[in-house]
Structure 1
């Protein structure tokens, strides 16, 4: 056979094979220096996403919303002291020098309006130098904590914390990632100098730019810490298993080194191909090396375990490896194919980074399969292995478990089925509810600062609306302004809303100011000409950089209303969006309707659409895998039977998650498709060994089950330990999407082993319709030769 000739050539010419493989890997890995790490949350959305389009529309119409927010908490607990106001003035002035700075807002440069006769005076609320008289300080405080534009935005109601908001503009920058890096570096150096200069205050750094940069930092953390940790855990597990299997330290070291080479080459090939394809490294993609190395291990273990057993049975080095390749080629190929199909199902994801993750891991699994059947045998031929004949261990140490399951098949099946039903009943306890503010772990600086600022001053979680009057200068139309005011007031009254930024607050303040600060005139002017005149006077008085483009478009036809939200959870922000849309449909002209948009809205919608698309992808992948298994196992019946143990683990995993956590985010939506290929690996090996015993050795049902346990039981257990440990490592990621994804995947893998040991064997026996014999046939082949695969 052609395959036998290829296997023979591999083991006879190992050096040539090693050289050819390494050259291929080097060619792919040559692209790695060009690897791009994304720093923009927009990478999570396709270009045609309607929420992203709406977001870009708002960004291009008004002042950009990318910002750096510096919060200042004086240790005295009083912002309105001469000392603290001087600090705020200094920061406000220096912040203009930050890279890409377009606008700086603080309580000190807030444009306070004063009327003198018929003139409108607009000046900084805190003039330089900062006043030190108690009366003036009290007056400034009175204005600030009662100004809707400031309170819960730039000053806390209790006046214990203030903020400086720096708007940055990246519109003309081709490399936004480099620009973000520069802004973050400069801002951190700036804040570091502030801490030295002003020890009497604490400083907190948040904002959208900082959050975007946190994506990159989380990615780098995972790649620098978790990938090496996962590799170390894997190597320790492999070395331990090989020592137990062979009884030789030299064999354990050589086998571990050979496996390490396969892992490294598979990862390098996949990541290099990633660069050639044009995929950037995002937080989900950063987990690809960990997943690839985990999945590559199983392929190596199949071949090495059988090779060890063949050598112990007395075969020479070359014959033992050729036999191992012959016996393992089909199951390794089949499990690799099903795993690839499972990860390719991530292409149904609505979020590009998860598609990228699926594609990169699929390439890595393919590379692992090729290298395990080509490069690994060649390495084994040239590495020293101390395997002596006669030390072979029978697989009979798994008989106790097989006998336990066979003899108690009915109660075990009932108990396992009941546990499955109980666990899966909690699936509907899960709520699709991402919390954008909690995407990063509490040990990260961005999360610590964001939590503190969120609890004491404001948040960076918003939803913005653009209301268009459909006419140039229509912003001064009293009817339009009344509608804007009503909508703003409605938003302010919502329990989720902390602050509303709206142009009507400015117009009402101007009207009041021009009427001798009479509170009765704090309302929208009833004449269009008067409103237009107020606007003209106000704009002429504003200093450079503090114009109204953050609220009005250039033609003065539309205005932006921004609600700052206390809780950024998916449920909360989508509920607010739906209610606001209902309000506009009921109370505003149709031409004014705007759906509302923000990064939080985008992630909320993405979570819902992604889980729907991923379930569709997982279902289609399951059907394809079942058809593949039906053909491979030469039985439609067993192809259908395989559906059961392939579906249950993910269902139970999500049920356990619903019982213990109850919240599903964007990252968990990919778990069903990811774990499908891994779960199938277990089912394939158990059923294939069961069928081999039935078809080729004519064993009875119970002895076929015993044969399956003997040939794959220990290996599946060890593989589960390795897979669980490696995916469990992801739980330590700073990025919650990755951490949750790794943890739930580990849970699902453990459940898969339990199902294949305690649910699948009784199911096979019941469907066979034959009573098991209590007499165990002598499995001559099993007792004297190696397991054919893991």
Structure 2
């Protein structure tokens, strides 16, 4: 006796034991779910050891950077915008409140109060006479008059570090940037701010909260709600549809029990093995449920149609399971193979998703073949008295479902070339659409357009330079100078700046020759010469300005010697960065950039009594150093180290983008590469990227590449499995036809309508593989069995478009309509899965019922040789 037969016989004879084992196993494994740990950080799409993550973490530590929650205030009603006493009072209150936010259970999760960017926590840089600047808080206390409020606006707009970042250019909006120590604290910060806003009142102001950390953390919280709401609603819809088809409340509970048990055990295994509940793994129940129900519907459909002929549960089940065991086993294997291929992608959460969906599919198959027969055997025989009774009615034969199935069968077999031609045409259009696909993702777009996070994103990015952050890190590759190299460079510099003072030039050259032999370092050389030339400066005749100026220039020239390693003090390098910022602004994708060059220009202007013409990079290293020293007298001197390292060998160009779409970030990356190639920097600079917006680009690219490779490999594996199942490469290829056409249609449609190829869409290819092949296997296997029995293609096609086609169509309807509740979800990935799950079911089912009969009609004399031979031998015997 085969293993399959023994398993079914055990279920038929020991139904209570089977049920008890299943329930105990479900409860034991499901108990691990209480240990769930949610992780919605897209960063974790990449391995901890991925170079981009390592560099990102290193950059955050090196420059003291944190992930940021953005609280935006907009006032379109007041003629002065947000710069009125009432609004600024609210801003002041919220800023002070935000500075106190911390998790009482984990003090490490907090707002970094010192680094908040808000009017009360940033400096106003003011001139204090020639050569001096002073620093005072931009808004030490809320203004009491309109004049005071407008003065704050004017000061903020005059600071390039604040204009476009903290305050909009039109004065209608103001942003408070709240750095947080951990991204998973973002949602809590947002909720606390909402409570405070409700407490103080909004008046004419609009408050918006956004930022990638908020979007990611909020998605995690709402994801749980969707798991608790959408999945049960989908199950309810499936339940009602099966009740409509099979009209036996007690019987259709079995598939529901299987789906629930499969989901619980799969999630229990996921969490029990130490995996976090990620964005991807949150969708495991949604992917498992349709596949878990599909096999049950096949069994119930066949049982529904065969029961009245036998009037015996056991005989009917043995008959049904005999026909369905092999197709169900292979469809489960192929579906599992499709998802298991995701284990070879370079993205850990996708790997876990693929592995556990595959395990869930196999578990669903096992539970289906052992529990459904056991459940039916435990039912009261009287409850099946009228089950399937309408299969003998004439009304049933003429029902809407059956009439259309017969029409499909007649058309596909009667006009095969027309059917094939139409579908090839659809496929060609699909291929065109595939080439139009745009790979793009943005965590903020995981929410529907009306969601408060999407609204905040639109409003604030229309006012500010951008709420999406990327960091371009420049590093100087200049080697340390030797004393001899420094002396030569100094001689060249003196010759260029003292051509009109030959006596002083010769004296300076002699001094260099004198001290070079005793100098052990470049700094020693500079110190010795500075001492000599300061004496010359002091001894210069009071009435001889030329001598005084010449020795002054000689002293200034020392500042740039040996400072080559301090790349980002060099005027030429800072001017290069400033020009680069202007280039990015003209391109448009970068709304605002902040660099050390902005600090130098602003302080330099104020050192010259606020002269706008002095808003520029000074000409010497010494002058640059003076601006930086002056800035460090501010209330927050450490702010400088967010933009440059203390040794001035690395600089951080903080770029603000108005969009977090991968396509926009990729354009910025391309612009940067083209600019550096066309405009080489004055010294050798290396560059690299950090920031969440950039990391999203990297994992998206890896995901798309990985998904493509895994799909192609699983396509090949499934083809080999089909060839093995049917013992024929030809039949293996036929089984792949509905899948190929479904993929072509689905992804062509995505390209044609301009839908972004994002995370949910990428993983749906695996679901398409599983479901499309499921229908094909059932249809082809049953067709071969029917042909071996009838020996006539016309009779076989009529039989195929009775019970088998009806089972496929019922599955299509149950799953396609059953998951429509997902369309009501506020989370776009769930909506996407709902739409494309229904589309995959409809098209793969229709492709099976239309294309396969047409191909088999054309190829019948070739592909059915074995079946016709078996029929002939049977007839002769």
Both structures adopt the same fold (TM-score exceeding 0.5): yes
Range with bigger deviation, 745-754 or 362-371: 745-754
* Alignment CA distance shift 1:542-1:476 (3 Å): farther
Report matched runs for 1:144-293 at 5 Å: 144-170=156-182, 177=184, 179-180=185-186, 182-194=188-200, 196=201, 198-243=202-247, 252-293=248-289
CA distance in 2, matches of 1:604, 1:728: 31
TM-fit CA distance, 1:131: 5.1
TM-score, L = length of structure 1: 0.90
TM-fit CA distance, 1:676: 0.4
1:730 counterpart (810, 816, 822) = 822
TM-fit CA distance, 1:352: 3.0
CA distance in 2, matches of 1:312, 1:687: 26
Equivalenced residue count is 754
Range with bigger deviation, 396-405 or 562-571: 396-405
8 Å contact from structure 1 (residues 218, 283) kept in 2:
no
Aligned residue number for residue 70 of structure 1: 71
8 Å contact from structure 1 (residues 71, 161) kept in 2:
yes
* Alignment CA distance shift 1:316-1:137 (3 Å): closer
* Alignment CA distance shift 1:277-1:610 (3 Å): same
Aligned residue number for residue 388 of structure 1: 385
8 Å contact from structure 1 (residues 433, 570) kept in 2:
yes
2:781 counterpart (666, 688, 695) = 688
Aligned residue number for residue 662 of structure 2: 570
8 Å contact from structure 1 (residues 512, 520) kept in 2:
yes
* Alignment CA distance shift 1:771-1:691 (3 Å): closer
TM-fit CA distance, 1:762: 1.2
Aligned residue number for residue 438 of structure 2: 431
TM-fit CA distance, 1:727: 4.4
Range with bigger deviation, 324-333 or 763-772: 763-772
CA distance in 2, matches of 1:400, 1:735: 40
1:82 counterpart (63, 81, 85) = 85
1:121 aligns with 2:134: yes
CA distance in 1, matches of 2:682, 2:212: 33
Aligned residue number for residue 497 of structure 2: none
1:440 aligns with 2:463: no
* Alignment CA distance shift 1:391-1:520 (3 Å): closer
Range with bigger deviation, 588-597 or 628-637: 588-597
- Give the secondary structure class of the aligned counterpart of 1:493: helix
Aligned residue number for residue 813 of structure 2: 721
- Give the secondary structure class of the aligned counterpart of 1:499: strand
TM-fit CA distance, 1:231: 0.8
CA distance in 1, matches of 2:189, 2:89: 24
* Alignment CA distance shift 1:591-1:274 (3 Å): farther
Which consecutive residues of structure 1, in runs of 5 or more, have no partner in the other structure? 171-175, 244-251, 773-778, 780-790
* Alignment CA distance shift 1:9-1:95 (3 Å): closer
TM-fit CA distance, 1:42: 1.3
CA distance in 1, matches of 2:111, 2:644: 20
Aligned residue number for residue 408 of structure 1: 415
8 Å contact from structure 1 (residues 615, 672) kept in 2:
no
8 Å contact from structure 1 (residues 184, 213) kept in 2:
no
TM-fit CA distance, 1:339: 0.8
* Alignment CA distance shift 1:137-1:327 (3 Å): closer
Aligned residue number for residue 712 of structure 1: 804
1:130 aligns with 2:107: no
CA distance in 2, matches of 1:463, 1:180: 18
1:344 counterpart (332, 340, 352) = 340
CA distance in 1, matches of 2:631, 2:417: 83
TM-fit CA distance, 1:270: 0.6
Aligned residue number for residue 449 of structure 1: 456
- Give the secondary structure class of the aligned counterpart of 2:275: coil
CA distance in 1, matches of 2:833, 2:310: 45
Aligned residue number for residue 581 of structure 1: 673
- Give the secondary structure class of the aligned counterpart of 2:609: coil
- Give the secondary structure class of the aligned counterpart of 2:709: helix
Which consecutive residues of structure 2, in runs of 5 or more, have no partner in the other structure? 103-109, 478-563, 865-870, 872-877
- Give the secondary structure class of the aligned counterpart of 1:126: coil
TM-score, L = length of structure 2: 0.81
* Alignment CA distance shift 1:388-1:140 (3 Å): closer
* Alignment CA distance shift 1:345-1:191 (3 Å): farther
Range with bigger deviation, 312-321 or 712-721: 312-321
8 Å contact from structure 1 (residues 611, 670) kept in 2:
no
* Alignment CA distance shift 1:661-1:438 (3 Å): same
8 Å contact from structure 1 (residues 417, 759) kept in 2:
no
TM-fit CA distance, 1:627: 1.2
- Give the secondary structure class of the aligned counterpart of 2:391: coil
TM-fit CA distance, 1:597: 3.1
Report matched runs for 1:500-515 at 5 Å: 500-515=593-608
CA distance in 2, matches of 1:427, 1:16: 51
Range with bigger deviation, 511-520 or 139-148: 139-148
Report matched runs for 1:629-778 at 5 Å: 629-695=722-788, 697-769=789-861
CA distance in 2, matches of 1:713, 1:649: 18
CA distance in 1, matches of 2:267, 2:805: 33
8 Å contact from structure 1 (residues 433, 665) kept in 2:
yes
8 Å contact from structure 1 (residues 649, 749) kept in 2:
no
- Root-mean-square deviation (CA, aligned residues, Å) is 2.6
TM-fit CA distance, 1:728: 4.2
1:301 aligns with 2:297: yes
Aligned residue number for residue 513 of structure 2: none
1:532 counterpart (611, 615, 625) = 625
TM-fit CA distance, 1:588: 2.1
CA distance in 2, matches of 1:214, 1:130: 35
1:604 aligns with 2:697: yes
CA distance in 1, matches of 2:310, 2:348: 52
CA distance in 1, matches of 2:683, 2:326: 63
CA distance in 2, matches of 1:353, 1:737: 16
